[in-house]
Chain A
Amino acid sequence: MTERNQPDQLVSVPRLLARNASLYGDKPAYREKEFGIWQSWTWAETAEEVDALALGLLDLGVNVGDHVAIIGRNRPALYWSMVAVQSVGAVPVPLYQDAVVEEMTYVLENCGARFAIAGDQEQVDKIIEAQQTVHGIAHVIYFDTRGMRKYDHSEITSFADIQNEGRAAAPRLSKELNARRDALGYDDTCVMLYTSGTTGRPKGVVLSNRNVIETSKNSSEFDHLSAGEETLAYLPMAWVGDFIFSIGQAYWSAFCVNCPESAETMNADLREIGPTYFFAPPAIFEGHLTQVMIRMEDASRFKRWMFSYFMEHAKTVGPRLLDGKTVSTKDRLIHKLGNYLVYGPLKNRLGMSRVRVGYTAGEAIGPELFDFYRSLGINLKQLYGQTEATVFITQQPDGEVRSDTVGVPSPGVELKIAENGEVFYRSPGTFVEYYGNPESTASTKDPEGWVATGDAGFIEEKSGHLRIIDRIKDVSKMADGSLFAPKYVENKLKFYPNILEAVVFGAGRDRCCAFINIDLTAVGNWAERNNIAYSSYQELSQHPQVLDTVLTHVNAVNESIANDEMLAACQIHRFLVLHKELDADDGEMTRTRKVRRAVIAEKFNDLIDALYDGSNTIYTETEVTYEDGRKGKIKATLDIRDATVVAKTKVAA
């Protein structure tokens, strides 16, 4: 049905490029800062560069269906490579540039890449090392010539040389190129992207032109993206989001993709470009906020006062203005003044003066953080997605933005919630298959096209927004049958700067209790300012005032959970602050800092018993591993506090 709305020639990315070159020929398509100056390429120039490379690839002997690995930082040349590879009927496979050789070897082997296009010497070196075990790679192309002079060039060629050979071969090969490009169909493979592989080996997700183009079209229309948008391409090219933002949507809407000079200059480049459409994971927003706060600490008293006054005002007024709600004339005036004195300059500093649509996704974002940007007048929204869905599952429409939901289903996406709470979706973006792995494909996608997300969630009745609770494997039931979602509660606790980690127990029990880890930097800083002396982490963690502070945080979290009908039972009844930081060396966390519930439950079973048997203090001895591998024991007496639990009857009201 959707196909009818589609001019039938726009069935592949190279076709979109041809359309843009004719409609927007002299508008900038790419910019990259090099040698201190923003260099730019129009759509017409882009088409020429892509053609030259595609002819060069033909000359090199790239066949229809070949896999071509593309590795490097975000640069126009590598984006052109993707489209050139598609133009000759081959499949681009972007890889993570920071992947170590073993990871790269696995992916190159798995996809059977015949060619590789690398950004610079570093990536070429990794490919050459991988070639000791991977023998399928016939030729490597590199872009940055620095340091490459001494390499044996029998199976390595520079990007520029390939393009030159392509231009020279144009009379001979143009016909073949056009034929291959015209043969591309809507259901042919557009790109293959590897999942990050946090659980097991990475899997190659095959996305068709239909997946990419339909999704790009729908999502561009959802946010009214137009040819005038500017974006900054700085997230890994191997990530599905970058592929959709910097190729899918960029080619569909014909907007300009800007590539930073280097990873370190990202912030300066962001300011210079002032993107109108911006995407970042919460960590980036958090980093920016921290920098602002540190600089404000050093500012003069008057400036600090001004900052806190106007930010306080913006907290209530800013989001209302963004959502188009009514605001009194006086508040409007103060906000205008604030915009002139504080918000405007601050947004300029952050490089977000022109952001019209901003997205964050990937993990839960703290409400304070989210509100800070919203109150500045930056239209920051959340979306929920995954590689298998070509990014978009749900997203927040303008005017309906909240920090605790991930929005309504994206256009064309159907959602259903299974018995156990798992979220399923079906959409035009639903992936074709996992490459060479029919078992995994079958277990993820059922014959009707429904895909399991692995996340538990529910749809809010009032707003129709989806709320994600937790990974489905972590969700279980409490003794009375109510839903137990530990990570949801832990994330809420961790949003407080004083709390570094939290572990909530309650599966199969009648109530929830928690272990808390304080954040030594934040709490230590607080202690220093309030002249509270302490000699060790252990002593600080058990300080009565610290426990009081944590108690207020826990109570606040309980209050917010109580508003949730489904999760009200997850309120924390009792908690203790641990005398040691949970550590990967002791096996309590993974190397990526995820808590290992089972290990912790076993190791600290005496503490858990104390939480549930009602005692007020508990003496414990814990084995710890020092950094040099020696083991020792720490002894402590821990206080257990009772938190205020909001009664269930109140929830119903």
Chain B
Amino acid sequence: MKQNAVIDENTGYTTEDGRKIGGVMMDLRNITLRFGGVEAIKNISFDIREGEIRAIIGPNGAGKSSMLNVISGFYKPQEGEVYFRGEKRPPLKPYQVARQGVARTFQNIALFEGMSVLDNIMTGRMGHIKSNMLSQAIWAGKAQREENENREAVERIIDFLEIQAIRKTPVGRLPYGLKKRVELARALAAEPDLLLLDEPMAGMNVEEKEDMSRFILDVNDEFGTTTALIEHDMGVVMDLSDRVVVMDYGRKIGDGTPQEVRNNQEVIDAYLGVAHD
């Protein structure tokens, strides 16, 4: 069922703008996900490669977010396997997946509204804290050193995403576009190998979208982070991503470079609508 046979499994490829894309990082094979009698995902296979920006697009209810939830370990597919870095991934809890180096943002912002931006981003460092609760409570040597290290990492991300001015602001007081950026910052704080973005640009104006696009590209460029994102804005998807998976009614109807996908008749039908029998 693999459609992207043009690309070799291990050697990777070079993008239009000259970036080197590596071998397969995550391989999803014949995934089927059911909620009772509803099949949200029907036998879908695709892969995500090292260093790639991979987009998942499709009309409402196509199963995009479900797919992302499968990758992040939140949903367990009834059929099919997930291979991560060449090894088959057993059913894991989301926090275990996170420890493997997968971080995500949410479609409906999921931040701690009453906490400051800084504290919110610090929660992204959870996986990097090794000292136990007691030594943290009494602020003993190791906990202190660790917090300083983590704070340093967080400050670099704050600098990177240009949110210094809101460092101490409670998240609840921020406008929508900035909250999205804070979510991205928290995901980045985990230093992920694979970054999952669920509609990072939903509800943004053109300027905010441009900013966000630049940050996604910069993250990929600077840290080499592999990114999988769901997005509705076709212009953004076509500009940002290296390869695109198109879903409709839980099925995969297209997979390839933005150019290939744009010319795919089935994709055009799904977006512009045809009479379904």
- Chain A positions within 8 Å of B, measured between CB atoms, are 33-37, 146-147, 149-150, 261-262, 264-265, 268
- Since A35-B159, A261-B164 are in contact, a sample of 13 more A-B pairs with Cβ atoms closer than 8 Å, ordered by chain A residue number, is A35-B155, A35-B158, A36-B155, A36-B158, A36-B167, A37-B155, A146-B218, A146-B222, A147-B218, A261-B165, A262-B162, A268-B165, A268-B168
Q: Which 8 A-B pairs have the closest CB atoms?
A: A264-B165, A35-B155, A265-B165, A36-B155, A261-B164, A265-B164, A262-B164, A35-B159
A34 touches B165 (CB 8 A): no
- Is residue B89 within 8 Å, beta carbon to beta carbon, of the partner chain? no
In whole angstroms, how far apart are the Cα atoms of A37 and B151 in the complex?
11
In whole angstroms, how far apart are the Cα atoms of A36 and B222 in the complex?
21
In whole angstroms, how far apart are the Cα atoms of A33 and B159 in the complex?
11
Which of B160, B162, B164, B221 touches A36 (beta carbons < 8 Å)? B164
Ordered by A's residue number, 16 sampled pairs between the chains whose C-beta atoms are within 8 Å are A34-B159, A35-B152, A35-B155, A35-B158, A35-B159, A36-B158, A36-B167, A37-B155, A146-B160, A146-B218, A146-B222, A147-B218, A262-B165, A265-B164, A268-B165, A268-B168
- Is residue B99 within 8 Å, beta carbon to beta carbon, of the partner chain? no
Residues of A with C-beta under 8 A to B218: 146-147
Residues of B with C-beta under 8 A to A261: 164-165
Say how far B170's CB is from chain A's closest CB, in angstroms.
15
Residues of A with C-beta under 8 A to B160: 146
In whole angstroms, how far apart are the Cα atoms of A295 and B273 in the complex?
52
Chain A, Cβ-Cβ closest to B152: A35
A35 touches B165 (CB 8 A): no
Chain A, Cβ-Cβ closest to B19: A150
Residues of B with C-beta under 8 A to A147: 218, 221-222
Residues of A with C-beta under 8 A to B158: 35-36
Q: Which of A34, A35, A146, A265 has the most CB of B within 10 A?
A: A35
Say how far A280's CB is from chain B's closest CB, in angstroms.
19
B164 touches A149 (CB 8 A): no
What number of residue pairs across chains A and B have CB atoms under 8 A from each other?
32
Chain A, Cβ-Cβ closest to B168: A268
Residues of B with C-beta under 8 A to A149: 221
Say how far B109's CB is from chain A's closest CB, in angstroms.
21
Residues of B with C-beta under 8 A to A265: 164-165
Say how far B145's CB is from chain A's closest CB, in angstroms.
16
- Is residue B156 within 8 Å, beta carbon to beta carbon, of the partner chain? yes
In whole angstroms, how far apart are the Cα atoms of A261 and B159 in the complex?
9
In whole angstroms, how far apart are the Cα atoms of A39 and B34 in the complex?
55
In whole angstroms, how far apart are the Cα atoms of A36 and B165 in the complex?
10
In whole angstroms, how far apart are the Cα atoms of A268 and B167 in the complex?
11
Say how far B160's CB is from chain A's closest CB, in angstroms.
8
Chain A, Cβ-Cβ closest to B159: A35
In whole angstroms, how far apart are the Cα atoms of A33 and B158 in the complex?
13
Residues of B with C-beta under 8 A to A262: 162, 164-165
In whole angstroms, how far apart are the Cα atoms of A530 and B253 in the complex?
63
Residues of B with C-beta under 8 A to A33: 164
In whole angstroms, how far apart are the Cα atoms of A146 and B152 in the complex?
17
Residues of B with C-beta under 8 A to A150: 221
CB within 8 Å of A: which B154-194 residues? 155-156, 158-160, 162, 164-165, 167-168
Residues of B with C-beta under 8 A to A37: 155
Q: Mark B115-158, 1 if CB is under 8 A from A, else 0.
A: 00000000000000000000000000000000000011001101
A35 touches B156 (CB 8 A): yes
Residues of A with C-beta under 8 A to B156: 35
Say how far B29's CB is from chain A's closest CB, in angstroms.
35
In whole angstroms, how far apart are the Cα atoms of A634 and B165 in the complex?
45
In whole angstroms, how far apart are the Cα atoms of A613 and B167 in the complex?
62
Chain A, Cβ-Cβ closest to B156: A35
Chain B, Cβ-Cβ closest to A264: B165
In whole angstroms, how far apart are the Cα atoms of A472 and B159 in the complex?
48
Chain A, Cβ-Cβ closest to B166: A264
Say how far A418's CB is from chain B's closest CB, in angstroms.
48
Q: Which of B155, B159, B162, B164 has the most CB of A within 10 A?
A: B164
Say how far B220's CB is from chain A's closest CB, in angstroms.
12
Residues of A with C-beta under 8 A to B151: 36
Chain A, Cβ-Cβ closest to B158: A36
Chain A, Cβ-Cβ closest to B18: A150
Say how far B253's CB is from chain A's closest CB, in angstroms.
35
Chain B, Cβ-Cβ closest to A149: B221
Residues of A with C-beta under 8 A to B165: 261-262, 264-265, 268
In whole angstroms, how far apart are the Cα atoms of A150 and B221 in the complex?
9
In whole angstroms, how far apart are the Cα atoms of A149 and B162 in the complex?
19
In whole angstroms, how far apart are the Cα atoms of A268 and B168 in the complex?
10
Chain B, Cβ-Cβ closest to A37: B155
Say how far A536's CB is from chain B's closest CB, in angstroms.
29
In whole angstroms, how far apart are the Cα atoms of A261 and B167 in the complex?
12
Residues of B with C-beta under 8 A to A36: 151, 155, 158, 164, 167
In whole angstroms, how far apart are the Cα atoms of A292 and B218 in the complex?
38
In whole angstroms, how far apart are the Cα atoms of A146 and B221 in the complex?
10
Residues of A with C-beta under 8 A to B152: 35
In whole angstroms, how far apart are the Cα atoms of A149 and B221 in the complex?
9
In whole angstroms, how far apart are the Cα atoms of A476 and B160 in the complex?
55
In whole angstroms, how far apart are the Cα atoms of A198 and B155 in the complex?
41
In whole angstroms, how far apart are the Cα atoms of A150 and B15 in the complex?
15
Chain B, Cβ-Cβ closest to A260: B164
In whole angstroms, how far apart are the Cα atoms of A37 and B167 in the complex?
12
Chain A, Cβ-Cβ closest to B167: A36
Chain B, Cβ-Cβ closest to A35: B155
CB within 8 Å of A: which B197-252 residues? 218, 221-222
Residues of A with C-beta under 8 A to B164: 33, 36, 261-262, 264-265
